Structure 1
Amino acid sequence: METDRFEALIDAILAIIITILVLEIPLASTGTWGALYELRYDFLFYAMSFIVCFNFWNYNNNLFSIVNKIDSKVVWSMGITLFVFSFLPYITLFAGEHFFLFFPQFMYGLYFLTIAIMLAINSKLLKETDPANITLNVVLDKHYSLYVTIVLVLIGMIIGYFIYPPAIIACCFISIFGVWIMPKIQSR
């Protein structure tokens, strides 16, 4: 199966998710700086979720530029990943409105963990679908950035549970940069 239409579907779903994200930002109650300041956590989560969405798009765009073929396992695995990814607007709103509570922050961290695990599964299935694609196999050989995400978010969850719940969002944020930095370290 060719990947062009599948890539277009991923792009369309991500565009819808970003649209919902921006529409979920509450309006300021008044036209003052103070009213905007009250929404700082909502804006923080929006910005982070936008970066997550863009990073997911960038990852898939780069990945599918070297994928030659896919099969039904890959399609369904990516479909499930996109289903989980579609909860991003809800999780963003939930965590943004309850910034200092453990459970909303935990759910945001759990979301990060789930996406990282799903990306690892997708990578495995892509390699199985096209074992002759040496470039794909080299690129998907090691998942250091996904491991960094999992470890950082788990550390954040432990700190968040015992000390300070926003530590989870901080570790999620740091893990985003880990995803960007780790491939550069791996290539050396």
Structure 2
Amino acid sequence: METNRVEAFSDGVLAIAITIMVLELKTPDTADLHGLAEVAPTLLTYLLSFVYIGIYWTNHHHLMHLSDRVTGGALWANLNLLFWLSIVPFTTRWMDESSLSPLPVLVYGINLLAAAVSYTILQTRLIRIQGADSRLARAIRNDAKGKWSMALYVLGCVGAYLSVWISVAAYVAVAAMWIIPDRRLERAVADSGEDG
């Protein structure tokens, strides 16, 4: 099977996740800066989760452009990733409504870690399908940023009961590392002459 259907379906799921998150936003109770300050934590948790979904969307896009075909196993690996990304609105809201209580912050971190592991599984599966000398395999070769991300997610999860600010710092640090799409994939897409 070609990758265009996988990409279209994934785009739809991620668009719905973002839509659910934005529909959960509440407007300030008052039309002044005090009202805006009261909803600022909600806006910041939304922003962080929006950035995460955007990171996965852009990197997934490049991953699919460097893949010529998918198999049933890759489809299930993609669905696994989409499952974890589709519950980001739930874990985001719980973390926000609890005012950053340790358990919701931990669950948010587990959600992010599970999405990262799922993305790695999908990436590995696609490399196996495309071949060890494929454009995708050559682009991925060393995934230090992915390994650092996993370590920071684990730190964030462990840190939730020490100080939620350790967790928040770890989650923000990973988002900051990935805010620019994976340059290895972007270069490979550009080198192949495809627009991405």
TM > 0.5: yes
The DSSP-based 3-state class of the residue aligned with 2:161 is helix
Identity %: 25
1:16 equivalent in alignment to 2:16? yes
Tell me the TM-score normalized by structure 1: 0.90
Equivalent residue number for residue 166 of structure 1: 165
Go from structure 1 to structure 2 and tell me whether the alpha carbon gap of 1:184 and 1:81 turns closer, same or farther (over 3 Å shift): closer
Identify the range of structure 1 (176-185 vs 129-138) with the bigger mean alpha-carbon deviation: 176-185
Equivalent residue number for residue 72 of structure 1: 72
Segments of 5+ residues of structure 1 without an aligned counterpart are none
Mapping of 1:6-155 within 5 angstroms?
Answer: 6-131=6-131, 134-155=134-155
Go from structure 1 to structure 2 and tell me whether the alpha carbon gap of 1:182 and 1:5 turns closer, same or farther (over 3 Å shift): closer
Tell me the TM-score normalized by structure 2: 0.86
- Residue pair 1:41, 1:97 contacting (<8 A) in 2 also: no
CA distance in 2, matches of 1:168, 1:67: 34
Identify the range of structure 1 (7-16 vs 27-36) with the bigger mean alpha-carbon deviation: 27-36
CA distance in 1, matches of 2:88, 2:182: 25
Instruction: Return the letter of the residue paired with 1:108.
Output: Y
- Residue pair 1:42, 1:96 contacting (<8 A) in 2 also: yes
Alignment RMSD: 2.0
Identify the range of structure 1 (47-56 vs 93-102) with the bigger mean alpha-carbon deviation: 93-102
Identify the range of structure 1 (175-184 vs 60-69) with the bigger mean alpha-carbon deviation: 175-184
CA distance in 2, matches of 1:161, 1:140: 35
Q: Which runs of 4+ in 1 moved over 3 A?
A: 180-185
CA distance in 2, matches of 1:60, 1:177: 17
| Post-superposition CA distance 1:27-62 (Å, at most 9, x none) | 222323212211111100111111111111100111
TM-aligned CA deviation for residue 182 of structure 1: 9.8
* Bigger relative contact order, structure 1 or 2 (CA pairs below 8 A, ≥6 apart): 2
TM-aligned CA deviation for residue 81 of structure 1: 1.1
Instruction: Return the letter of the residue paired with 1:167.
Output: I
